[in-house]
Structure 1
Amino acid sequence: MPSFLEAPVAGAYHLLTYLVTALEPFAGAYAAVIAIVLCTLAVRLSLVPLSVRAHRGLKARAELMPQLKQLTERHRGNPERLQREVAKLQSESGTSLFAGFLPTLAQLPFFWLMYTLFSRTMVAGESNQLISGNLLGAPLGVHWPILTGTPAYVVIAVLLAVAAWFSSRLAVRQLDASAPTWSRRLAQLLPFGTLLTAAFVPLAAGLYLLTTTTWTVVERTILQR
């Protein structure tokens, strides 16, 4: 790993280790699990302003869908003209077609840190103490395919599927009635990508995905109302 990336990894490791130590008298073996959940909630709380902005952008985009559809039909044979007209429309409305992806993109560095911290036996020049934590007897540093059939895998997989289902419904509800079929199908399927991702990351990262997906469902429900 490049040296400039070691600093954030070491900083996150020491912070999480300190939190686990503070929680151990109350949480025992589940101190690491609670620490991951608390850190994830702290990250999502810090991103609330970005989520609100993204939600407003999605609403504005939904209002623009009829105009975008007209532009597509009018300039179907001229991709360059279509691109210019779409950019002009977005500029005039003050929104972007990618507004809804801002919270997800902002979380990528945190997800990478969680993956890195629980994938290495050595961090910041010392033995990684975090991977000794466990969830329902399954080590947090072990990848999910090895855990197939264990309670930890079953519980988190089921909860991730439930959260993805609710997230899928909310995503479709945000789309305008004139949205194309492929857009609706994509909105339905994308949330279930967390299940596929969780199959290739440590259990700790799967716990992060579950927590952040649940937060997204609650947050979208509140914002839509």
Structure 2
Amino acid sequence: MDIYAFPPIAAVLDFAYNALTALSALLEPLAGSAASAAAVILVTLLIRALLIPVGISQAKAEQTRARLAPRLREIQKRHKKNPERLQRETMQIYKDENTSPFAGCLPVLLQAPIVGILYSLFLRADIAGHPNELLSHDLFGASLGTSLSSMLVDGPFSLATLLVYLALIAIMIGVAEVTRRVFRPVPVDDSPLSSPGMLRMMNALHYFSAVFAVFVPLAASLYLTVTVAWTLGQRVILRRRYPLPVAA
């Protein structure tokens, strides 16, 4: 069964296709064959701008969690032999502060459908029954519908595609390294989140976008690159606006 033929999904893809095609046509006099790539960048910037209030909420939640950390450590030591009471009092603290341990996860959840739509738009030869003209567009000679993994495994090999992907991945790795260094989590005594294995896993997550980009079409990789760069800049600005409490 083709899930893309399901009417609601087909309608969403068709709307996204028509919107991106129209934006590409407007940009074509300036960007030429890279008009669709420019459209993807503009759409990404628009989406990230719309998510600024969510980013602010995320920064506030991070600040709140850091402020609550001493109280949470205290009840963890006090009730470590009574998991039920520990969980109850932990949730009560978050409730009193009008927050939750999962606050700030919304930006990631909101972006998942967007990446999925871009993946589909530059993967399928047809959209809602008509030919997908977006596949004929490129960025510096690299097709927006080609993924690095499929090119290396199935071919045909394209030097332009390889170079563009290497540039995007290098940017993502650089942003991930800066993010890892600047926003390094502060170890907390007696916390499972501060174990060496957990800290290594959290550090590795910074590079997930660069790994994921290898397997998705170039258009989706371009979206991820702009997103991680925007996220780093936004976090730097919001951290200054909502600084974390200094540990005693």
TM-score over 0.5 for the alignment? yes
**Aligned match of 1:101:** 105
Greater displacement, 163-172 / 28-37: 163-172
**Aligned match of 1:199:** 214
- Matched to 2:163, the amino acid is P
Asked whether the 8 Å contact 2:168–2:225 carries over to 1, the reply is yes
- Matched to 2:216, the amino acid is V
Asked whether the 8 Å contact 2:187–2:194 carries over to 1, the reply is no
CA drift of 1:147 comes to 4.3
- Matched to 1:181, the amino acid is S
Asked whether the 8 Å contact 2:122–2:145 carries over to 1, the reply is yes
CA distance in 2, matches of 1:48, 1:197: 24
1:120-149: per-residue Cα shift (whole Å, max 9, x none)? 111122111111111222211111114456
- Matched to 2:226, the amino acid is T
1:4-45: per-residue Cα shift (whole Å, max 9, x none)? 222211111100000011111111011011100000000000
**Aligned match of 1:91:** 95
CA distance in 2, matches of 1:83, 1:112: 35
Structure 1 gap ranges (5+): none
CA distance in 1, matches of 2:129, 2:17: 11
**Aligned match of 2:181:** 169
Asked whether the 8 Å contact 1:170–1:220 carries over to 2, the reply is no
CA distance in 1, matches of 2:142, 2:9: 29
CA distance in 2, matches of 1:184, 1:127: 47
Task: Tell whether 2:228 aligns with 1:213.
Answer: yes
- Matched to 2:16, the amino acid is A
CA distance in 2, matches of 1:94, 1:35: 39
CA distance in 1, matches of 2:37, 2:172: 16
Asked whether the 8 Å contact 2:41–2:226 carries over to 1, the reply is yes
- Matched to 2:218, the amino acid is L
- Matched to 1:213, the amino acid is V
Task: Tell whether 2:7 aligns with 1:3.
Answer: yes
Q: Which of the pair is proportionally richer in helix?
A: 1
Task: Tell whether 2:28 aligns with 1:24.
Answer: yes
Structure 2 gap ranges (5+): 153-158, 241-248
Larger radius of gyration: 2
TM-score (norm 1): 0.92
CA distance in 2, matches of 1:170, 1:86: 28
Q: CA RMSD in A?
A: 1.7
Asked whether the 8 Å contact 1:168–1:188 carries over to 2, the reply is yes
1:39-93: per-residue Cα shift (whole Å, max 9, x none)? 0000000000011011100000011112212222222222222211111010011
1:184-221: per-residue Cα shift (whole Å, max 9, x none)? 44442212110121122111111110000000001001
CA distance in 1, matches of 2:141, 2:150: 13
> How many residues are matched?
223
Matching of residues 103-142 of structure 1 within 5 Å: 103-142=107-146
CA distance in 2, matches of 1:122, 1:170: 44
Equivalent of 1:51 in 33, 55, 66: 55
